[in-house]
Structure 1
Amino acid sequence: MGVAVVTGAGRGIGRGIALRLARDGHAVAVDDVNTDDVAAVANEITAAGGTARAYDADVTDPEAVTELCRRVVDDLGGLDVMVANAGIAQVKPLLEVTPDDLRKIFDVNVFGVVYCLQSAARTMIDRGTGGKIVNAASIAGHAGFDLLGHYSATKFAVRALTQAAAKELAPHRITVNAYCPGIVGTDMWDLIDAQMGERSGAAKGETLKQYAAGIPLGRVQTAEDVAAFVSYLAGPDSDYMTGQSVMIDGGVVMV
């Protein structure tokens, strides 16, 4: 299929995306600051007969992301898909959010997406190959969630960046879309569950259970659910789709 970069690929949704794109036939550059995790994912792909390389670029460092793209081209022979998946969350009322909180979450969730988008697009333009840029948004980018206000703001920003980049990069045959997961059974939601429980007094797992009760399809989302949609965004069937931030959330938010 081509060469795909997946950031934040050491665990959770990123790991699921990397494994799925490898099964689709992509050579996958698996990137994460957690080097042990990312090495394990790359080894899992190669053990299954796929092609993968592990990288440890920090998406908050634009020079590191530029170097990542350069190394991927050298190591794997191209760069056709960039999945800017790396992201973090924090549970906190807006009246308690500090400048440091804002800097940390925007550095990863917004600046990191911009740096991945810029470096991948420049590489694709220089190579003249076109390509696919896929950004991580969220249902919190369509509806602001209490206690997740600053997180929601970063995901609204990703939607705006996705639309603007889609318009700017269309002449270069580069599409830009985003995926918007809901309540996914990953480490991030374990963190949200724990932090909300600390504030409400709810037992471990209770907050996740309460949120999950509102999912029309009746179950918590899996990383594989998200990865299946990213597979579509990264493949040829989505060639006429750009500028979209699509919810894949079991029906939690409907617009």
Structure 2
Amino acid sequence: MSDLTSKVIVVTGGASGIGKETVLQLTAKGATVVIADFNEDAAKQLASEVESKGGNASAYKIDVSKGDEVKQLIDWTSDTFGTFNGIFNNAGIGLVKPLLEMDPESYHKVIDVDQHSVYYGIYYAAKKMVELGVQGTIVNTASIYGSVAATGSFNYNAAKAAVVMMSKSAALELAEHGIRVNGVAPGFIDTPILGESPEVKAALAEQHMRGELIKPEKVASVVTFLFTEEASAVNGQTIPVDDGFLSFKVK
């Protein structure tokens, strides 16, 4: 893949999991990356790790559920580095509850982070790109649960389905500005969000074709590809990184 030298890219939820692996891969290809995360200490630690390897990264504390903070993030990035080329709207949370126990607070907590933050990221990123005359790239984290329902995930299903359609709709409207918008739909990823239960991890892994959890770097490699020139003909798509779950669900 072509290198990303001279590109300035924001990664939300960049301090851990898929976000962290994406930061490492983007910076390895020469991009300057802003690690935007609620966990400022972890973001700073990752930025130091990147810089120790000769890469360029900065930590930025943010609550992505607040639109004004996302706007400030984009403005700060542009002002600090003199340009702004892309954003990976990756931050997300889960909160499993049966629908009849999912009170409005539980519903909105997930919607605010997993859906509304993606809107803020798309909106403010696109506005800045148009202002700067940059033909940039936006990538959003959806999920296999944006296409199929899961028990206890009414809020998460709703949010991730919205991300799939927002990626398509934004790609359509922003094409005239040369801005591409895509998404990734991970399967069950081997990150701390799954918890520590071997039984739970095994049950999730069995739903993949190879019977294994997916490593976060596998998703990161697809995201990194989407920021490169080689992906210039990929637009409005949400790419499953799910080891066949959506096509050949085992159980």
What's the TM-score, normalizing by structure 2?
Answer: 0.94
Q: How many angstroms apart in 2 are the aligned matches of 1:82 and 1:180?
A: 16
- What is aligned with 1:200? none
Q: How many angstroms apart in 2 are the aligned matches of 1:138 and 1:178?
A: 9
The partner residue of 1:160 within 165, 186, 197 is 165
Tell me, what secondary structure is at the counterpart of 2:209?
Answer: coil
The partner residue of 1:169 within 162, 169, 174 is 174
Runs (4 or more) in structure 1 with deviation over 2 Å come to: none
What's the TM-score, normalizing by structure 1?
Answer: 0.93
**Which ranges of structure 1 fall in alignment gaps of 5 or more residues?**
195-203
Q: How many angstroms apart in 2 are the aligned matches of 1:65 and 1:214?
A: 35
- What is aligned with 1:220? 213
Matched, 1:112 2:117: yes
1:139/1:182 contact within 8 Å kept: yes
1:176 partner amino acid: V
Tell me, what secondary structure is at the counterpart of 2:245?
Answer: coil
- What is aligned with 2:247? 254
1:14 partner amino acid: G
1:245 partner amino acid: T
| Identity fraction in percent | 35
Q: Alpha-carbon deviations, 1:49-72, whole Å to 9, x = none? A: 000111012111111111111111
The partner residue of 2:105 within 100, 125, 136 is 100
- What is aligned with 1:134? 139
Q: How many angstroms apart in 1 are the aligned matches of 2:99 and 2:49?
A: 40
- What is aligned with 1:64? 69
- What is aligned with 1:239? 232
Alpha-carbon shift at residue 210 of structure 1 (Å): 1.1
Q: How many angstroms apart in 2 are the aligned matches of 1:168 and 1:3?
A: 23
Number of corresponding residues:
243
The partner residue of 2:30 within 20, 25, 30 is 25
1:125 partner amino acid: V
Q: Alpha-carbon deviations, 1:59-90, whole Å to 9, x = none? A: 11111111111111122221111000000011
Over aligned residues, Cα RMSD in angstroms?
1.2
Q: Alpha-carbon deviations, 1:174-233, whole Å to 9, x = none? A: 01000000010112222xxx7xxxxxxxxx221220120121123210110010000111
- What is aligned with 1:197? none
- What is aligned with 2:153? 148
- What is aligned with 2:201? 208
